[in-house]
Structure 1
Amino acid sequence: MPAKSAAQQKAAGAALSAKRGEQPTSKLKGVSRDMERSMTEAQLEELAATPRKGKPEHKSGD
């Protein structure tokens, strides 16, 4: 599942970094903290690997 916005991609990258132990979980806020707790490393990797080019900063609600 590719990221739908740059913000989602950035949050996934932060959560992935914490899950791998590269930064403390205590530095995570909001959605990235929830992502780190609820998603597997593979799921986070897939979201974080989505290219940002052409993505809106924030996705409008559907």
Structure 2
Amino acid sequence: MKHDFSFLVDSCSTILDYYRDILNSILYILRDKFCAKRFMSFSLFDTFAQLADRILFY
């Protein structure tokens, strides 16, 4: 008996995309707050955000 798990993969992918959007929104809000106070440059923050995104979702 062969099972088709594609529906499970699709639902997990959808859930991850949803959380990824939330994470990106939080990161951009934090970026605006911190970079406005000049703790970090925008490009440095974006580099860290992209790195975290790749580690978590790829």
TM over 0.5, yes or no? no
Question: Which has more radius of gyration?
Answer: 2
Structure with higher RCO (Cα < 8 A, 6+ apart): 1
| TM bracket, shorter-chain basis | 0.3 to 0.5
- Higher helix content, 1 or 2: 2
TM-score calculated relative to the size of structure 1: 0.32
TM-score calculated relative to the size of structure 2: 0.34
